[in-house]
């Protein structure tokens, strides 16, 4: 019996075996700690990447929202200005339809076409007649004409005030364009290199239109143009006996209503 008990009793581990098990456990614990640490680092790195992506997305959203807000504000401002200009024209037309001639200012396409006939490289003053709220004036500046070279002749006191605000370096003269040389007395130094007119010439009789052209050419340098737009199919300046040669543009269909530009020069 004692022999059987001795045979069934577990034999104690040797010192070397116990040391081996302890080392294995230590290695496993170390590997577990390292793996856990790596996992924590990986999770932290993922969180940082997610935070960076989120910040970038939020930043882009803020910038996009800011740009959209700026565009909307700009568009609203432009629309408000455009509606304001059209309202001024309508009011001016209702007050004096023969003088204003149109219920809306010239469109950008027509304004650019008129300005295209002025050479910005030729020095000297540029006279604009009937600028209204300034669409052609703006096109002349965009064309490369220094604002300080512009002499704006406008009959409406309200439009004169607006023009002085929008083009502070230009010379704004309130007066009658059908007596142009008298109106500009003391305002013009030397001959002008162009006269750009938005007058509603067809609201006046032919004799007055011819007199206007003759008066304008007394202020122009040799070879300088008189530029006039019209909604009509015929020349707004009577050509018979005028001594003028003329060029007419194609129709500016993007303007409402469509218009053409006539460019007059002395024939001699």
| Residue 63 or 2, more confident | 63
Give bridge partners of residue 127 from the DSSP assignment.
151, 195
- Inter-residue contact 262 to 248 (CB < 8 Å): yes
Q: Which of 95-109, 112-126, 176-190, 236-250 has the lowest mean pLDDT?
A: 95-109
- For the cut 60, the answer to whether the pLDDT of residue 4 exceeds it is no
* Neighbouring C-beta atoms of residue 119, cutoff 10 Å: 15
Last residue of a domain, one of 95, 110, 128: 95
H or E, element range at 73: helix 15-95
- Inter-residue contact 104 to 86 (CB < 8 Å): yes
Last residue of a domain, one of 38, 70, 95: 95
The strand pair at 126-129 and 150-154 is best described as parallel
- Inter-residue contact 88 to 134 (CB < 8 Å): no
Question: What pLDDT was estimated at residue 170?
Answer: 98
pTM above 0.85, yes or no: no
CATH number at residue 145: 3.40.50.150
- Inter-residue contact 114 to 229 (CB < 8 Å): yes
What is the tens place of the pLDDT at every residue in 183-228? 999 999 899 999 999 999 999 999 999 999 999 999 999 999 999 9
Whether 75 and 179 share a structural domain: no
Whether 60 and 152 share a structural domain: no
- To the nearest 10 degrees (0 to 180), the angle between helices 108-115 and 135-143 is 50
How many domains is the chain partitioned into structurally?
Answer: 2
What is the tens place of the pLDDT at every residue in 243-265? 999 999 999 999 989 999 999 99
- For the cut 80, the answer to whether the pLDDT of residue 62 exceeds it is no
């Amino acid at each position: 019996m004692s022999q059987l008990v001795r045979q069934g009793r577990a034999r104690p581990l040797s010192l070397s075996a116990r040391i081996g098990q302890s080392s294995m456990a230590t290695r496993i614990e170390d590997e577990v700690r390292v793996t856990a640490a790596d996992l924590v680092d990986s999770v932290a790195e993922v969180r940082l990447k997610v935070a960076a992506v989120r910040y970038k997305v939020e930043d882009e959203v803020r910038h996009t929202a800011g740009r959209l807000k700026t565009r909307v504000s700009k568009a609203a401002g432009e629309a408000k200005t455009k509606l304001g200009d059209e309202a001024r024209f309508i009011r001016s037309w209702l007050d004096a339809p023969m003088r204003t001639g149109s219920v809306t200012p010239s469109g950008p396409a027509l304004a650019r076409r008129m300005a295209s006939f002025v050479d910005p490289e030729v020095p000297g003053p540029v006279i604009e007649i009937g600028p209204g709220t300034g669409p052609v004036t703006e096109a002349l500046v965009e064309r490369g004409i220094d604002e300080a070279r512009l002499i704006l002749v406008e009959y409406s006191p309200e439009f004169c005030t607006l023009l002085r605000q929008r083009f502070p370096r230009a010379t704004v003269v309130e007066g009658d364009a059908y007596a142009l040389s008298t109106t500009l007395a003391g305002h013009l130094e030397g001959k002008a290199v162009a006269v750009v007119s938005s007058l509603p010439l067809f609201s006046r009789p032919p004799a007055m239109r011819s007199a206007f052209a003759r008066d304008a050419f007394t202020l122009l340098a040799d070879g300088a143009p008189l530029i006039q737009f019209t909604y009509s199919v015929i020349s707004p300046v009577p050509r018979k006996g005028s001594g003028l040669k003329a060029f007419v543009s194609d129709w500016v269909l993007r303007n409402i209503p469509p218009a053409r530009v006539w460019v007059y020069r002395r024939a001699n």
